[in-house]
Structure 1
């Protein structure tokens, strides 16, 4: 099975300090935080694609026991530097190797799946559901790209796909 786009991963590794600084300056994602407060339940929470750990740290500060996962060693180094008391591990969608099935009450996956090839998005969504315990909550978002797949100035891939690809994977993931 294919993994995250290699050029995207290299861009995150090469520019990890720059991205961490930029994300630290961005406005607080209050919409995300409101949804999490409303729907997440107490229990272990995974932040898949945690980047520099901003959301993982917020989860921990908000009473969730959280662990962050990211495929970029550069971003993980920034996360560990910025948040030394939080656990961060290397793992990548779609496989999430080393992440146990049914281990989490909640899974946060904020703007990650658009870095994957459309062919593996259903597998990635299925794996996100797989790591949830029964009755767990998945928060999944992605950046919309209306004009087709393209790369930004850093070389990060932003894949175009129809939202029905995700909806179908969510439906199939909940039917078995």
Structure 2
């Protein structure tokens, strides 16, 4: 994880949590999850303040939220005290079991990584899935090159082929570019499924 981005999330955790809670419901994400995920243990990678982890748990997908920011995890635990949250960071995701999840959700996270880390991060996300598991991966598009916002968060600009190249061993079920219903930002979303044994 980019150090300045992580520091920004830790420093402003309450602010970001309040902002995400106030955003419009991410109906586009929820529709895709209902369409492609199957019941089973789900990892929410980059869970932030836990909004999507909570929705997953309320909709039949037993979920664990993972985030590298202790500040955001504190907000998640405050907002959703009955849910399970753990600290772990892409690309390594240390302490997260391989092959343990029916589904992995990674919503607008990988653009906070240096482009050189993207392929390894996607490989690691795939490794979390059991056979016939489903990965939902999205990232914010930034057409003006890599930049930092006013908080210091990195928004890396990278070729989507970095992601697609890693997904060759999986079946891509959805690949689209659209405006996010919750943030109003342009994102690219890919859903892929691993092979069954």
Query: Aligning the two structures, in what range does the TM-score lie when normalised by the shorter sequence?
Result: over 0.9
Q: After TM superposition, where is structure 1 displaced by more than 6 Å over at least 4 residues in a row?
A: none
Does residue 125 (structure 1) correspond to residue 128 (structure 2)? The answer is: no
Q: Which residue of the other structure, out of 46, 49, 61, is the alignment partner of 1:49?
A: 46
* Structure 2 counterpart SS, 1:102: coil
CA distance in 2, matches of 1:156, 1:172: 32
2:54 & 2:2 partners in 1: Cα distance? 26
Equivalent position SS for 1:171:
helix
Q: Which has the higher helix share?
A: 1
In 1, the alpha carbon distance for the partners of 2:131 and 2:92 equals 20
| Structure 2 portions without partners, runs of 5+ | 171-193
Q: Give the corresponding residue for 2:109.
A: 112
Q: String of CA shifts for 1:77-131, please: whole Å, max 9, x gaps.
A: 0000000000000000000000011000000000000000111100000000000
Instruction: Extract unaligned runs of 5+ from structure 1.
Output: none
Alignment coverage as a number of residue pairs: 172
So what's the TM-score if we normalise by structure 1?
A: 0.96
Q: Which has the higher strand share?
A: 2
| Structure 1 segment 92-103 matched on structure 2, within 5 A | 92-103=89-100
Q: 1:1-176 counterparts in 2 under 5 A?
A: 4-172=1-169
